[in-house]
Structure 1
Amino acid sequence: MAVLLLGFMFSCDNTTSNPINNNINNPSTGTGGSGSTGTTITGPRILHKITANNEITQEFVTTGGILEKAIYREDSGPNSFLIAVVTYTSGKITKVKVDQQVNGTTPANNIAYNFDITYDSGGKINSTIGNTSIGTTAGFTSEYAYTYDSAGKMTKIVEKKKIGADYSQYTNYNFTNTGDNITKVVTETGPTTSAGVPTSTVLMTTTYNYTSYDNKINPYTTLPKTFFVIWSLMHPLNFPLLSVNNVTNYNVQYNGTPMVSPNFTYLYDSMNYPISDQTQTQKYIYKAL
C-alpha cells in the first residue's frame, strides 16, 4: 500500500481559504488544458483522470462536480484496483469505504476500510472512526481526533487504535503549515494502556519534509478536501494533496534515517493547472464544470 500511494501522490472543503470551485482555483476566464474529450477547457474544471504511459492510474467519478467514487490502479497487476466510494449527508462527506477489486470482482481476502466522519459546528472534521476487515474477519478500529489553529488549519491528528474493546497503540500526526501548504508531517507511534491512554514511549518516528512547492494550482484541490484527509490517513505521504500548490521536492526520514528525496517538475496550461510532468509520461485530465 505504501508503494502504491507513493506512486499516486505526485500526479497533485474544509478550509475557508480554499473552497472548492472558488475563483482562485477555478478561474472563470481564459483557456485551460484538455478535458476528458480532448477539448480545451475554458473556465472551471475538476480533476478527472491521471495517466502514466497512457494507462489510467487514478480516476475520479464525478457528477455535477460531486465526487462519487475514486479508483486507483494497484501496482500488483493491471486489473487490480482500490475503489473508494463516498457517501454524503447534507452535502458533506460522512462515509468513505475502500475495497479491493481484482479482475472485476472483490476477492475473498479483500482488505476493506470503512471511515465514518463527523464535523464541528464550523464545518471542520472533528472525529473519524476507521474500521478495517480482511474478508469477513473484523480487524482493528482507529479513532481519530483533530486539532486546528486559530486560522482553521489542521495542526494535529491523534489516532488511537484498538482490537475489540482494548486499545493498544497511538499515532500522533503533527503538521507544519507554511501559508496554505503542508511543509512537514511528523508521525509518532507508541503504545497505549488498554483504556486508550497514550504512554510517553515513542517507538517509531517518521518525518515527511515537503521542502518545496511550485506556485501553481494543485489539481486535487478541485475535489473535496475531506476525501483526501481520509485517503492520507491510510498513508501520510499523501497529505500534501491537501496543499494549494504542487510539491516539487520532499524527503522522508524514518527514525532519523533518510529514506528518499525525489524532485518533481510539471508542465502547466494557461490557467496554471498541471497538465503533465516535464517528460509528459504522467498526464492530468480534467472535466469542465
Structure 2
Amino acid sequence: MKEDKINIFNSYIKSIFDFNSYNFFHEKSLGRAFLYLFFLTILLGGLSIIRPMYNFNTMLDKFTTNYEKSTPEFNFKDGILDVSSDEPLIYGDPQMSYIVVDTSGKTTSTILNEYAAGMLVTKDHLYQKDILGNIKAIPLSTFKVLSFNKDSVEKELPNLKLINILLIIYYPIRFFIGYLLNALILSLIALSLKGFIRPKTTFKDFYKLSIYALTLSTTFNLIITSIDRSVPTITTYLDLIFYGVGLLYILKALTVIKLNEK
C-alpha cells in the first residue's frame, strides 16, 4: 500500500506494524492526527466500556438477588420507618463502617461508639458517625415527602441499569482526554531528548507523532485492564511499559523520517 493511500482506518494497523508510515504521519497535519484519535476513541474507547458495564451489571444483579432474599419487609411513610424483623440489624465491614437499623427504640446513637465509623437508622432519625468521631443526627421527617417499601424499591432496581447510558458517554470521553494527556506526556519526554535524536523536530511534530506512537501501548493497556484477573507483574509496571513502548515508537519513527530526508 502506498503511503498516500493510508487512510484513517488502516492508520491503526500501520501505526503498529509499519514504521515507514510514520514519515507519512509526520508530513500530515495535526488535525489529521486528531481525526485519527477520534477514530481510536470510537474503536478502543468503545471497547473500554465492555468491562465496566459487565462489572456494573453483574454487581447490580447480585445486589438485586441479595436484596430479594435478605432484606426484611419495611415501609417508610410520613417520615417514619417501620421494619418487620428482629432488631437491631447490623450490616457492614470491620475494615470500613457499619450500618445499624433498629426501629424498635431499643438502640440509641451510643451504639456507634463501638465502631470507627457508621450509621444508625431508627424509626425517625438517621445518625451518622464519621472517622473523626463526630455524630450527626438527621430527622427522617426531612424525607417525609417520600414513600416506599421493600416491593417498590425492588421494582425500581432494574432501572439502575440506565446508568449504562452514562458509562457509554463517560468512558469514551475519558479515553479521549486521557489519550491527549498521555500524548502530551510522551511528547514532553521525547522533547527532553531532542538534542540526542532530532534537533529540528518541533514540539508540534512530537505531539503529532505521539498520537500514533501510543497506539500499541493503548491497545495493550486496554487488553490488560480488561482481563478479569489481572497479571500482577505486568500491572505493576504498566505505566513504565506504556510510555516505554511509546517512546521506542517515537525514536524509531524519527529514524525513518531522517532516512527519508536524505
Q: Is the shorter-chain TM-score for this pair beyond 0.5, marking a shared fold?
A: no
TM value normalised by structure 1: 0.20
Structure with the higher strand share, 1 or 2 = 1
**TM-score, with normalisation over the residues of structure 2?**
0.22
Task: Pick the structure with greater CA Rg.
Answer: 2
Which protein has the bigger helix share?
A: 2
1 or 2 for the larger relative contact order (CA 8 Å, sep ≥6)? 2
